Amino acid sequence: MKSEFEVAFNEISQLRELSRDVVLDALRTALVSAYKRDVGLQSQHVEVNIDPNSGRTRIFVEKEVVDDVQDDRTEVLLENARYFDQNANYGDMVMVQLEGSTKRFGRIAAQTAKQVVLQKIREAERKTLLDEYKDREGDLVHGTVQSINGGVVTISLGRAEAIMPKKEQIPSEKIKPHDKVRAYIVKVEDTNRGPQIVVSRSHRNMLRRLLEYEVPEIFNGQVEIKNIAREAGGRSKVAVAALQEGIDPVGACVGQRGIRIQNIVTELHEKIDVIEWSPNHESFIAKALSPARVSGVYLNDDPDEGRTALVIVPEDQLSLAIGREGQNARLAAKLTGWRIDIKSVPEAVIEALEAIDRPPLNTISDQYPEMVNDVRRIMAKREMAKTVMAEEFNALAKFADLVQRRIQQVQEQRRKDRLAEIAAVKSTLPAAAFHMSVDQLELPDAVIDTLRPFNNVGEVMLRFLVDEARIKNALRDAPANALKQLQDALDRLIIPQEAYAAAEAEELAAQQAAEAAAAAEAGEEDHAALEAGLSADDGHQPQTEPARGKRPSIGAAQEAEPDFAPTFQDADDPTDLTGKKKGKKKKGRQLIYDEDRGGMVVKRQRKHGRSDWEEWDE
């Protein structure tokens, strides 16, 4: 039969969801505090042993061994000390068991023990909750709305409470007390009042987690979520890609009759577009602007201004491509990582006709005069509000595509020239500077924060030389003299030895990678040439080998030249001298006497057809 102590002990452990060791430690600490409070000695060393089954408590205190006890709280006779330590002598400190144990404690000591137990249990609960929910950061939780104060929603998660600030809520969603909600754990922080759990329903990763729960292919790793662009309560776009052949990523996310995606739409109260990811940027951008149809996508990866995509759409698709208040275009830009400019076909044609006589479009009039005249006729017809046929709209789209392709060629050439200029400037800078953090610059914190997008000191130095306007734009919110401070910091910059070592290691790794790539490419070429040569060996007469250990004379070589063509043996040639293969195929090389040079030369066989091996190259 269990004792009353064991029953109470187990009840506390189960009720508080704490381990037995934690509760025992709390009791020990409480009894130590109670004893010190009872005797009034805070510096004395005290130990407590508790039997978890019977609840028997033994308290040991440190006392000095003396021949005459003046204070029994700190002193003990030698014969009593040797009962606990047989080697005890006068002047030694010995741990002695307290007689009477906890029965001698007064009311104040007992109250102290109670407070310490409660405090220790509360601290253990807080730590347990903190560890539990810290591990669940980035996961979904279910809870019940307790209250709403000042726009902040308090949610009960059972043993813990979470808060959902105004910015983490879906704007169009109305939440009431006692509502059951599902939320995403953004962060868990330790505070004086216990763990503070911040949850969100507007975070884009909540959509990611819902997709993982609703779509087994995503959870199992057969379909990957490449990126998510979300405006909570309005619209979201999700780019997905299949990691296994035979799987339709969009179909897997939508589900049969849209059942999977509809469950998520119901949960979040927003429209969701699922788009198949593509490594081709033009195709991906065109899909990202769905449901609008796109006529053409034209990319401009400018080294200074960033990546911009010009998208031309039919006139009736312009408003659909832009979306309400630019939402569709904005989400597409977030999803793809490109800045997107959208124009209708007539708008692009009008701009092209205005610049048709100026470079780089002036050559189009000479090369395609009929097309230009036809486009002008169609545009005049459109201005007079006459009906424009579908074929004529197609002609406008083709002309706009031709113009943009010509502009793209010019932009690409400018980009190459600019990259060459930047590379030339970069070569003059110390490579070690590109391995230094901007935090190493002697600048105020406000200026350092504005320079963080440049990643390293070398990039700051490079942009200072090739694109100072970008540096000024980054420092526009910094103090007035920030540019002068940056110049001075770069002038007195001393590059540490660690940065030089990192730069040398990177250069060595790049050199080794280039050598490995070159060796692999050369190996592939040799293998292809070897297989091409062996494929023509059918029906070819085997060559006669020279006697092993004998070197043919020049005269013998001249006489036997038509029939004698010995195969050269390379160090790594897998063919032995008996003509048997050891695992690899032999190379087509022969030793031939050259009359002009008066000596033996090595020539390589060159194939012209399936059975033509008559020509040889040195």
Looking up residue 18, the CATH number of its domain turns out to be 3.30.1480.10
Question: How many domains are contained in the chain?
Answer: 4
- The domain of 118 spans 4-124
Examine residue 477 and state whether it is found in any structural domain, yes or no. Answer: yes
Q: What local confidence, expressed as pLDDT, does residue 98 receive?
A: 75
Say if pTM beats, i.e. exceeds, 0.75: no
Residue 266 lies in a domain: no
The answer on 83 and 155 residing in a single domain is no
Copy the structure tokens of residue 2.
Answer: 């269990």
Which pLDDT does position 110 carry in this prediction?
Answer: 62
Q: Are residues 449 and 509 in the same domain?
A: yes
- pLDDT under 50: residue ranges of the chain: 1-3, 536, 538-589, 591, 602, 605-618
Q: Quote the DSSP letter at residue 315.
A: G
Does 142 lie in the same domain as 162? Answer: yes
CB 321 within 8 A of CB 289: yes
Residue 345 lies in a domain: no
pLDDT at 123: 77
Structural domain contains residue 410: no
Statement to judge: residues 529 and 543 lie in one domain: no
Distance CA 402, CA 411 (A): 14
Q: Domain check: are 147 and 187 in the same one?
A: yes
Q: Examine the domain organization and report whether 512 and 440 are in the same domain.
A: yes
Residue 263 lies in a domain: no
Residue where a domain terminates, one of 481, 499, 534 = 534
Place of tokens 């105020």: 444
> What pLDDT is attached to residue 109?
60
Q: Last residue of some domain: 83, 102, 124?
A: 124
If you ran DSSP here, which 8-state letter would residue 584 be given? S
What CATH number should be reported for the domain holding residue 149? 2.40.50.140
Pairing status of strand 140-149 against strand 152-156: antiparallel
Last residue in a domain, options 72, 103, 124: 124
Residues 75 and 153 in one domain: no
**311 occurs within a structural domain:** no
Is-contact 261 254, C-beta < 8 A?
yes
234 within domain boundaries = no
One domain for residues 436 and 523: yes
- Separation CA 216–CA 238 (nearest Å): 16
In a shared domain, residues 68 and 141:
no
Helix 390-427 and helix 369-383, axial crossing angle in degrees, nearest 10: 120
SS3 209: helix
- Domain check: are 197 and 183 in the same one? yes
Do residue 158 and residue 172 come from a single domain?
yes
CA distance 413 to 427: 21
Question: Cα(268)–Cα(370) distance, rounded to whole angstroms?
Answer: 54
Calpha distance 279→286 (Å, rounded)? 12
Q: What confidence tens digit (pLDDT) does each residue in 573-617 have?
A: 444 433 444 444 444 445 455 656 555 554 554 444 444 444 444
**Contacts by 433-438 with C-beta closer than 8 Å and gap 24+?**
433/457, 433/458, 433/461, 433/493, 433/495, 433/499, 434/458, 434/459, 434/503, 435/498, 435/499, 435/502, 435/503, 435/506, 436/495, 436/496, 436/499
Task: Reduce the DSSP state of residue 593 to 3 states and report it.
Answer: strand
From CA 301, how far away is CA 415, in angstroms rounded? 8
Domain contains 257: no
Q: Tell whether 120 and 11 lie within a shared domain.
A: yes
> 91-130 burial, b for 16+ CB within 10 Å, e for fewer?
eeebebebeeebeebeeebeebbeebbeebbeebbbebbb
